[in-house]
Amino acid sequence: MIGIVDYGMGNLLSVKNILDYLGEDNFVCHDPGDLARADRIILPGIGGFPDCVRALHENGFVAALNEAVLTQKKPIMGICLGMQVMARCGHEFEKVAGLGWFDAEVVNINTVNDRIKIPNVGWEEIQLNKNSPLFKRLPAKSDFYLVHSFFMKFDDDNAPEIDASYEVEGVKITAAVRKGNIFATQFHPEKSSDLGMTIMENFIDWQPAI
Amino acid sequence: MENLIRCTKCVLPETHETIMFDDAGACNICRNVEYKQTQINWDEKKLEFDELIEDYRGKGDYDCLVPFSGGKDSVWTLYYLVKVCKLKPLVVRFDHGFLRPNLDENTKRIQRELGVDFHHFTPNWKVAQKLMLQSFLEKGDFCWHCHTGIFSYPMWVAIRYNIPLIVWGEPSSEYTAYYDYEQEEEVDEKRFNRYVNLGINAEDMYYRLNGLVDKRDLLPYSYPPLSELRRIKYRSICLGSYIPWDVKKQVEIIKDELGWQGDTVENVPEQYDYEKIECYMQGVRDYIKYIKRGYTRPSHLASIDIRNSRLSRDEGMDLVEEYEGKRPPSLDLFLDFVGLSEEEFLQIAKSHMVSPHVHDQDAIQDGKKLHDFDEWSRDGAMDRADTLKQLENWHKRKMTV
Amino acid sequence: MQFLGSRNDPDDFVLVTTVNFEKIVEMGNPISQAKIFQAQMADELIFIDLSVYKGEYQRAASLEILDKAARNIFLPLTIGGGVGSVEDIRTFLNHGADKVAINTKIIENPDLLRKASLKFGASTVVASIDYRVELDGNRYVYSQAGQAKQSFSPLEWAQECEKLGAGEILLTCINNDGLREGLDIPTIREVSDAVNIPVIAAGGCGLARHFSEGFTEGNADAVSAGTFFCFQDQNIMQTRSHVHNAGVNVRIRT
């Protein structure tokens, strides 16, 4: 049973649609208490980092997510803003603390290269970590759809948590992260046709080593 | 001969669908087949298949469903599943309307040699005729009813008899790049939509025929809804994804062990007596391809042999020059079936030319009649009035060009 | 992907193709064709409801198609036709659209574009610009599905839309629409070079080469087509191969 977190900012419908298409039982978590019923969790998100964090706090999800993910070790997949919010903090408009699950900060793409047009919209060729269980049955270089101006920048550019990245104008941009039972993608698997669907299937089957 | 860019390894030209050339001028199909020959752990794949079939053995009235034409690939697939895997299949054949006499004999012989339950379905000829003409007009390919029927109809049978495992023959990556060997090619709706149905589903064809057929007439050509297929927990796979496809070896085995007999085929070198022997419209199909793309079956066959080191590229090009560019006698029958004159036929075929190829009708020679030509049924010619109605409708729709 | 009520049954919404925004030909079921385009590796689908200006407008039909599309298509989906207010946008997004394309209403009320961009993000709003090349060689924007001539050019309007916050421009040449004789490269290049947001070029593709030209000569970020796939044996994957062979960086891996 997959729980899709609804905190008022997200592309819930697309996520729900793809899970329905795959025949996977799922439900929308309107309240933090709903997380208890889920075996795995999806955290979608579209919009701004500060708004997202505020919404998560206001809806009481932060404590519930920490409990479900860090204590109960339920597999969780974050998408787009849902990935970014897992960082230590974000620098969109103002510096705001995130969930702190990854040693990284969310920064504007232009701070590492001002020639890149933002938001970066469209399909990109993403280099995948061939050993990641979330990327099995996928070519090492796969195309996915994304829309973003900010990205998760790690203190260490070669941090082991970086599961996928893409290059633009000579700069490496984090495209996916994984640590223990936590997985997240900057791109939208639910908008990336077949290859995206494979990632969803892999997440559904994923048994993280904890 | 026209100066089309051809692969530097095989002889396929730039007008072949999905072809892409790399820096060495080699095509993606050659690369894909190289991958198949060198990168796949076929032992592992075979083990995977052996495990897979155990999930289905003895669980229902039939262990699996095998879509069948009687040609070399489906015969080999059936042989393998019955003789080697010892499975109990339901064999399903969708009759496109042009099965040759030798094929019927082959089929009877195989049914008796192997011992299988056989389900044969022939769709409404009058509907098929209209579909042939319409798809020829729309896509320059008159075989829409056959493509869609062959891939849809067995799925409906699988649903009706509750047979989840459906086993097809060779994967498409042998000939085109719609899929590559790195992926698992499932024979499903995506594949159907990707290239089998020529971009037209039965529901779309209904609008394009503008009242000439009933929605029910198109059922055999409609892919079943995913919900129905999920209900039976369907799994639709290619045997060629699990065992390496080797046409020459497989043909030898089915000839020896089942008495399968090859046949001559219009405008194809005689040594290829195993290729496309099941359909007496094959010559017309090949001719249309030549008009559209500037190459046809001999290029395709030579390329396969080249990739399997049975022919040099020069020998391949010799075959191409000798055998391509000929008018098949079966065209006369096709013109009757759809009610067109030869000029109309040429005009329509030429309207589908794939750039940069340009067809030169003056260079076309006459091809030879086959031995069973007089046995092919010419019944069911289309009424010229009906043809005109469809043509008129088409011209109105096509608007300008 | 344009749709409206069928001639034989106005409640049955079918996919159509047009010529110069006039002649309408019924091609098939919108969802069936959408699934085919997805299987053939389209990068995005843009649905345009023509019933607003060409038939009997039924918002419900639009939403039904969108709902069904969202359940079967896992690609970015854009819907246009009948988007007149911020509430409309919210409705379409709730029914599965990722983006909305607005044409007439932002010409009548440019403030709508600004509001929409602020509320939903620029990436959600596509400014759809239709234009005609007149006999004197000048180009004018037309709204209301080609019926209402405006006094400004597509270049001027595109720049204004960018300022107002549009995330993308969908640029369609009415003269070339459905003729399959090629895109209007000069205008496409002029607009693409003048704005910093993605430009989707539309109207006129008839050969695979035309797609490549849209990229290499028109500098467009994307090329859109509909009629191209209707009357010949061409599918998107084949077109992609052609475009790739011409040196354009397009997605080719399935």
| C225 CB-contact burial (10 Å; exposed 0-12 / middle 13-18 / buried 19+) | buried
Best C215, C223, C251 residue to mutate vs chain A (most A CBs within 10 Å): C251
ipTM over cut 0.95: no
Active-site positions of A?
Answer: 80, 188, 190
Contact C232 B139 (CB under 8 A): yes
Contact B190 A194 (CB under 8 A): yes
pLDDT tens for A64-116 read 999 999 999 999 999 999 999 999 998 887 888 999 999 999 999 999 988 88
pLDDT-derived band at C218 (thresholds 50, 70, 90) equals very high
**Does residue C234 surpass a pLDDT of 90?**
no
**Does residue C57 surpass a pLDDT of 90?**
no
Contact A137 B184 (CB under 8 A): yes
Of B17, B178, B352, the CB nearest to C232: B352
**Does residue C254 surpass a pLDDT of 70?**
no
Q: Which of A134-138, A181-185, B334-338 has the lowest mean pLDDT?
A: A134-138
All chains having 3 or more CB pairs closer than 8 angstroms to chain B: A, C
pLDDT at B400: 53
Q: What is the 3-state secondary structure (H, E, C) of C21-55?
A: CCEEEEEECHHHHHHHHHHCCCCCEEEEECHHHHC
Which residue would you say has higher pLDDT here, A11 or B94? Answer: B94
**Mean predicted lDDT score pLDDT of chain B:** 92
Q: How many residues does chain B have?
A: 401
Secondary structure letter of residue B43 according to DSSP: H
Distance CA B268, CA B278 (A): 14
Distance CA B27, CA B10 (A): 8
Pull the structure tokens for residue B360.
């030169």
Between the CA of residue C189 and those of A119, C154, C196, C218, C239, what are the distances in Å? Answer: 21, 12, 12, 4, 21
Secondary structure letter of residue B119 according to DSSP: E
Q: Is A21 on the interface with C (CB under 8 A)?
A: yes
Which residues in chain A have their CB less than 8 angstroms from residue C70's CB?
Answer: 13-14, 17
pLDDT-derived band at C220 (thresholds 50, 70, 90) equals very high
Which residue would you say has higher pLDDT here, B339 or C17? Answer: B339
Which residues in chain A have their CB less than 8 angstroms from residue B190's CB?
Answer: 194
For chain B, which domains are there? Answer: 41-241 (3.40.50.620), 283-400 (no CATH)
Q: Which of A129-133, A155-159, B260-264, B311-315 has the lowest mean pLDDT?
A: A155-159
Which residues in chain B have their CB less than 8 angstroms from residue A23's CB?
Answer: 230
Contact B399 C27 (CB under 8 A): no
Q: Is A119 on the interface with C (CB under 8 A)?
A: yes
**Residue written as token pair 């990229």:** C215
How many residue pairs bridge chain A and chain B with CB atoms within 8 Å of each other?
5
Say what percent of chain B tops pLDDT 70.
Answer: 98
pLDDT tens for C85-112 read 999 999 999 999 999 999 999 999 999 9
Which one of the listed residues C130, C184, C221, C233 is annotated catalytic?
A: C130
Contact C19 B399 (CB under 8 A): yes
Is C9 noted as a catalytic residue in this protein?
Answer: no
Secondary structure letter of residue C235 according to DSSP: -
**Does residue B181 surpass a pLDDT of 70?**
no
Contact A139 B182 (CB under 8 A): yes
Q: Which residue of A has its CA nearest to C168?
A: A121
pLDDT-derived band at B401 (thresholds 50, 70, 90) equals very low
pLDDT tens for C168-198 read 999 999 999 988 899 999 999 999 999 999 9
Which residue would you say has higher pLDDT here, A170 or B326? Answer: B326
Contact C71 A194 (CB under 8 A): no
pLDDT tens for B120-129 read 999 999 999 9
Q: Which residue of B has its CA nearest to A23?
A: B230
